[in-house]
Structure 1
Amino acid sequence: MDSSVRISVVETERLTLRPLGPSDVDELRELHADPEVMRFLDPEPVEHFLGDSFYAAHEKETSRFVGWFEFKPVGDGVAELGYRLHRAYWGLGYAAEGGKALIERGFTTGGVQRVVATTMFVNAGSRRVMEKCGLRHVRTFHVDWDEPLPGSEHGEVEYALTKEQWQSA
């Protein structure tokens, strides 16, 4: 995936994904202020999410901000998938719906050959989303964090999907 190529707008059945911008800062702050949303995540400055790889997700029916998705080139045809949604939208299939749409766009028009995603081993919800997106568990590994989050003693997991696996599914 050419890092200069940016996915513009992606439409799914229920979502519109568009590049995050300065007008989204208040929504990002509200999302990141929820301790349950951030339970398995380290806080980062909101400005970090205004880069070329982050997409605001809005519900088509209501135009409400659902959360964000990340689809970031990390080199050699590999893109990293990430997502963070408001709790009100958990369990509705939005994370998998948005993730699948970005994966499809990456494989069909973005030059992506492999998609990867990581989370804490104990983050069962995120692992389910990865599996629903077609990613498969690749490895469990341990990281020495300066300030480990509860559950980090169980490690991190990496999931991945190649273009060939996606095409044959």
Structure 2
Amino acid sequence: MHVHLITARLRLRRFTGDDAAALATLHGDPQVMRHIDDGRPVACTVVERETLPALLREYDQLPSGFGCFAAEERATDAFVGWFSLRPAASRGLAGGTELGYRLVPAAWGHGYATEGARALIRHGFEGLDVERIVATTMTVNVASRRVMEKAGLRLVRTFFEEWPEYLEGAEHGDVEYALPREEWAAGQYERD
């Protein structure tokens, strides 16, 4: 197992081919996916044939330390989701390093998202020398917005994208949050 980061309660590690079922369960959950991409669950076959292989390729394609990492509870080894740190690629972003996360519903409300996000932010600034960390979500995704705020990111703007199909809440737009290196270094937000 290639462990990437350890927090008080989580272990972030590289995905392996053995993670297909857990990843398919996560991406196949309608609650998890309701504010992501087209708002629909992803079929198990798509996760196995496309999503997981793409995540595994990133470890070779991206600079060391970047990518998407499986998150497990340290106490139980239970898969709780994933966290990512990658060059910004989401719609509407003009650059920076993008923070992402996706957790199983059983892990919601326990502070895991904030804990993992803070660890990757610290890793990005201290270990990877990034200049700016960004994250986006739908305006209506209040829980994700709160995680971004608790992790130290600040609201930068609301923006509107054209979507091929209507997604509930899309009329309110998406939001971009960011944390520049200088604010992080100055400690202008609460660190854990």
The answer, yes or no, to whether TM exceeds 0.5 is yes
How many angstroms apart in 2 are the aligned matches of 1:97 and 1:146?
Answer: 34
Aligned-partner residue type, residue 113 of structure 2: A
Aligned to 1:23: 18
Does structure 2 retain, via aligned residues, the 8 Å contact 1:117–1:130? Answer: yes
Structure 1 position 147, deviation (Å): 1.4
Aligned to 1:135: 153
Question: Larger deviation: 133-142 or 8-17?
Answer: 8-17
- After TM superposition, what 4+ stretches of structure 1 lie above 4 angstroms from structure 2? none
Does structure 2 retain, via aligned residues, the 8 Å contact 1:77–1:112? Answer: no
Structure 1 position 72, deviation (Å): 0.3
Structure 1 position 144, deviation (Å): 0.5
Structure 1 position 8, deviation (Å): 5.6
TM-score, normalised relative to structure 1: 0.90
Aligned-partner residue type, residue 32 of structure 1: H
Give 1:1-169 correspondences, 5 Å limit. Answer: 9-42=4-37, 45-46=46-47, 47=51, 48-50=54-56, 51-52=58-59, 53-74=67-88, 78-169=96-187
Aligned-partner residue type, residue 13 of structure 2: R
3-state SS, counterpart of residue 36 of structure 1? helix
Note the alpha carbon deviations across 1:68-92, whole angstroms, 9 max, x for none. Answer: 0110023998210000000001010
| RMSD, matched Cα | 1.9
Count of residue pairs the alignment pairs up: 163
Larger helix fraction of residues: 2
Quote the sequence identity (%).
52
TM-score, normalised relative to structure 2: 0.80
Structure 1 position 131, deviation (Å): 0.3
Q: Which has the higher contact order (CA 8 A, sep 6+)?
A: 1
How many angstroms apart in 2 are the aligned matches of 1:79 and 1:11?
Answer: 20
Instruction: Mark the runs of 5 or more structure 1 residues left unpaired by the alignment.
Output: 1-6
